[in-house]
Each structure stands twice: as structure tokens, then as C-alpha cells.
Amino acid sequence: MINVCVPTNFGKSYTVPIPKGNVTQQADNFRGISISPTISKLFEHAVLVRFSRYFATSEYQFGF
């Protein structure tokens, strides 16, 4: 078993509100997108390239 320590800040992101197209300024007329730090994305890619054989996914796992 390999113990991996990932810095806590790699999981943080900045959420930006994007209007859905309506011009009214109500909270339910916005959707949020999360912007992650570039270094955490590079780290994620490196981990996936190196350790992908140890990860399992399901055909039922998806998101959008």
C-alpha cells in the first residue's frame, strides 16, 4: 500500500457565477463554474498517468 499525501489546497477552487442568459439579477438565474489552480490540475494529470492502473471506475460513474 502506498501512502500519498496531497496538499489540502489542491482541492480548493474559486467559484464564478455565470448568468444563465436572463437579465434579472436573481440568485436562481446563475450557474456556478469552479476554477481550480493550474498546479493542482498538473498534479492530478501526473498522478493519473503514473497510477491509473490502480484506479477503477464504473460505467455508472459520470457527471456534468
Please give the distance of CA 9 from its chain centroid, rounded to a whole number.
Answer: 12
User: How many domains does the chain contain in total?
Assistant: 1
Mean pLDDT for the stretch of residues 59-63 = 71
Does this model's pTM top 0.85? My answer is: no
Higher pLDDT: 17 or 62? It is 17
With the C-alpha atoms ordered 1, 56, 46, 5, is the resulting torsion angle positive or negative? Answer: negative
C-alpha to C-alpha distance for 61 and 59, rounded to whole angstroms? 6
What does DSSP assign to residue 16? E
Residue 49 lies in a domain: yes
Q: Please indicate, yes or no, if residue 33 is contained in any of the structural domains.
A: yes
Task: Read off the pLDDT of residues 2-59 as tens digits, 9 standing for 90 and up.
Answer: 676 777 777 788 888 888 876 667 777 888 888 877 887 888 888 888 888 887 777 7
Residue 3 domain flag: no
